[in-house]
Amino acid sequence: MMMSKLVFALVFLVYPFLSSARHVITFRSSTSLQPSSLAWDPIAQHFVVGSISGPTIHAISDAGVVEHLLSDPSATGADGSATSVAIDPIRRRLIVGFSNPGSIAAYDLKFYERIFAVPLPEMDTIPGGVAVDLRSGEAFVSSTKRGVVWKVGLDGAVTVISESKIFGDQGLGGVVHVGRGYLLIVQMEMGKIFKVDSDDGAAKEVLSSGSSKPLVSAGHAVALHPDLSLVVATNRSVFLVKSDDSWAQAAVHDKSDLEDGSTAVAVAIREGKKAYVLVKSQEGYRIEEVAWEKESEGDMVWGLVLIGLGLAYFMFWRFQMGKLVGNMNKKHA
């Protein structure tokens, strides 16, 4: 009886290690909020999402409270969509890529007032992703229509930085600025990842270590982890891609599959630590912490180790108590 109680107590104590529970934020969508992009604001401590149903930006709190931040039809058009968002925490700016027609805009993160809004050179483009160079404040925009990357200055001046032939005729998806003078961009249909020089636009494909196949299948959204690994979202899975040679080659280090009927829309890194994915399902939208397979396996192992140590300690204690009782009985005898 005592043993069963002990086991129950140990399982209760290490349940967090054995459980696959993760941080999940559910929220209500609306006609003006059909989330299409995701970013984390470290100062305001909330997620920022763009909407495919209009030129609007909303904030999502940990409690799932939705707050309307801005609506700017004059930056793109009444039928425009906020397809990409990025936070510039140094200058407290929000960078938004709009489609229909294609444009790029910047807003201050205190009052959400527009700093600039300029059309992209190709008005029919749909921005695949937006990234910010935290040192210079320059933004970079990819196009889902074709292989082109634009650079946007602090004043809103837009220039083509890369139209490399290596992109082929496929459009580009998410983009991140690594901070070492280059970008990482995912190709939406082929799943290739490109390393692009952020100064001269020279582009190379990141090769898959030990394989001729693309690193991921049809990746469309990316986020950069502080350890310089890349979080890549496909429709059904999220991958953690790592490189040890400055992204000449890379390999998939871990992955996380979504539940059946769910689709990954966008990804973001929160507090420089955890990866979060914006998910669309039949029940609606949610933002959830990514539960990596290897990390979950490690938690399970630690939980079992703790249970084993607890049982070993109990058996040792029981043995010692038995000896003590035996010695006391001998003395009384």
Answer yes or no: do 133 and 46 share one domain.
Answer: yes
Report pTM.
Answer: 0.83
Instruction: Tell me the pLDDT tens digit for each residue of 57-101.
Output: 999 999 999 999 999 999 999 899 999 999 999 999 999 999 999
List phi, psi (to 5°) of 118.
Answer: -135, 145
List phi, psi (to 5°) of 196.
Answer: -120, 125
Asked if the model's pLDDT at residue 301 lies above 50, the reply is no
Answer yes or no: do 255 and 314 share one domain.
Answer: no
Instruction: Tell me the pLDDT tens digit for each residue of 108-153.
Output: 999 999 999 999 999 999 999 999 999 999 999 999 999 999 999 9
Answer yes or no: do 258 and 299 share one domain.
Answer: no
Kindly state the average pLDDT of the residues 3-16. Answer: 48
Answer yes or no: do 117 and 171 share one domain.
Answer: yes
> Based on C-alpha coordinates, what's the Rg of the chain?
25
Residue 267 and residue 278 in contact, taking contact as beta carbons nearer than 8 Å: yes
Q: Which two tokens stand for residue 223?
A: 């986020």
Which residue did the predictor score with more confidence, 65 or 14? 65
Q: What pLDDT shows up at residue 318?
A: 61
Measured distance CA(80)–CA(78) in Å, rounded: 6
Answer yes or no: do 284 and 242 share one domain.
Answer: yes
DSSP state for residue 213 in the 8-state scheme: S
Query: Helix, strand, coil: what percent of the chain each, to 5?
Result: 20, 45, 40
Residue 278 CA, distance from chain mean position? 8
Range of the domain at 6: 1-20+295-333
Q: Which two tokens stand for residue 63?
A: 């409690």
Residue 230 and residue 221 in contact, taking contact as beta carbons nearer than 8 Å: no
Residue 58 and residue 64 in contact, taking contact as beta carbons nearer than 8 Å: no
Residue 169 and residue 147 in contact, taking contact as beta carbons nearer than 8 Å: yes
Q: What pLDDT shows up at residue 4?
A: 55
Answer yes or no: do 252 and 322 share one domain.
Answer: no
Residues ≥6 apart with Cβ < 8 Å to 293: 254, 255, 256
Answer yes or no: do 282 and 148 share one domain.
Answer: yes
Answer yes or no: do 12 and 58 share one domain.
Answer: no
Kindly state the average pLDDT of the residues 3-27. Answer: 60
Q: What pLDDT shows up at residue 210?
A: 79
Kindly state the average pLDDT of the residues 167-177. Answer: 95
Neighbours of 327 (CB within 10 A): 10
